[in-house]
Amino acid sequence: MSQLIFKSECLNAALEGRRASPAEMTDMISLTLNTNNTELLEAASILRMRHKSKTTTFSKKAFLNVVNLCRDTCTYCTYKAEPIQAKVSMMSRRQIDDSLALAKRYGCIEALLVTGERPEERYPQAKKWLDENGFASTADCLVYASEKALEMGLFPHTNAGNLTGDEMAELQKTNVSLGLMLESASDRLTEPGMPHHRAPSKLPAERLAVLAEAGRLGIPMTTGLLLGIGENIHETVMSLDTIRSIHETYGNIQEVILQNFQPKTDTAMRGKPPADRWYLMAVVAACRVMMPKTNIQIPPNLSPDSYSSFLSAGINDWGGVSPLTPDYVNPEFPWPALDKLRQNTEAAGFELDCRFPVYPEFAHMVKYNDLRHKMAESGTDSLLVRRDLWM
């Protein structure tokens, strides 16, 4: 081993390329939180620069709230609507078409298509909406929206919960990637009184099966954790290790989102404190040490004053940022203006660039030539988006 940098043997070993164990990372997060030891963050910063250099990416997107009825009930979620609520969304074909056309006029690259979990299984209103628009299912609606997005020169990225293999294979024809947040691999969070008790799709085994099936299909996947909803440090690290294991098996986890919980006034967890910033930074750093080459994102609207801190702790992506639509999952937190995002990223010593919904190193997994050709028309030699299309 070369000259030691840190007192921590596991961090020195990680810099030499050894696989960091869950036990080691649990201890390092605990040490960071209990003593303000910064070695974990410093090691993550080294690995981030080694594997990602100074580039920090984002996706210029429009968020299409296709349908926000949902069969699940998570105690922290304000995205889900009931049919009688003013915020309910069930987009018609015309609304989808108009939203996509507007997104194109605003220079968006990505059309993020989001739905609740199989709402037609719980709500007759959702079934009626599908029937009226000529769709057999929510997944069928998403196929339509994806095809229209691609026709208009946008790249769809669908996040619709636990899709089947057949549904993902169909969406793979138009989506260069798909998304499914694991949130947590802890079964304890599904027990009575816990946030996922009434959310059958959030059973870890269900989510992991979808991520594995996407791997077998060769689909680049965005996944991640929701931090601060009642998990402990051990459970967080085991969740990261589970994601790492899927990627080691299938090679298809293109991005890990580490999203900090923010309490909502209209939810059962409104009295809970938001995720601690220092905890979030420690988890970001642990993720970078455990998966040195992975793409790590935090949503910038949820940490608006922490650009430099999180960039140095290991992230290399800001996720989707929209010049047009709100964050329907966190509507009280507006997206930063793209100029501000760029200015703050550069002030921290990094360079901002725009990506497609698939990262350059995962573009080879895109199977369909039509998608490849469309990316080539809009992309640089490094498979990022041409600056004249997003600046």
Give the burial string for 225-239 (b: 16+ CB within 10 Å, else e): bbbbbbbebebbbbb
Instruction: Over range 202-222, report the average pLDDT.
Output: 98
Question: Can you give the residue ranges of every domain in the chain?
Answer: 46-389
pLDDT in tens, 122-143: 999 999 999 999 999 999 999 9
φ/ψ of residue 66, rounded to 5: -60, -50
Percent over 90 (pLDDT), the chain: 97
pTM over 0.95, yes/no: yes
Res 362 pLDDT > 50: yes
pLDDT score at 217: 98
Instruction: Over range 73-100, report the average pLDDT.
Output: 97
pLDDT band at 4 (very low <50, low <70, confident <90, very high): confident
Domain 46-389 sits in CATH 3.30.70.270? no
For the purposes of burial, counting CB atoms within 10 Å of the CB of 266, is it exposed (0-12), middle (13-18) or buried (19 or more)?
Answer: exposed
Res 256 pLDDT > 90: yes
Pick from 4-8, 151-155, 285-289: least confident:
4-8
How far apart CA 357 and CA 58 sit, in angstroms, is: 9
Res 263 pLDDT > 80: yes
pLDDT in tens, 19-31: 999 999 999 999 9
Res 3 pLDDT > 90: no
Residue type at 56 in one-letter notation: T
Q: Is the dihedral of CA 142, 145, 148, 150 positive or negative?
A: negative
pLDDT score at 281: 97
pLDDT in tens, 33-42: 999 999 999 9
pLDDT in tens, 98-119: 999 999 999 999 999 999 999 9
Res 1 pLDDT > 70: no
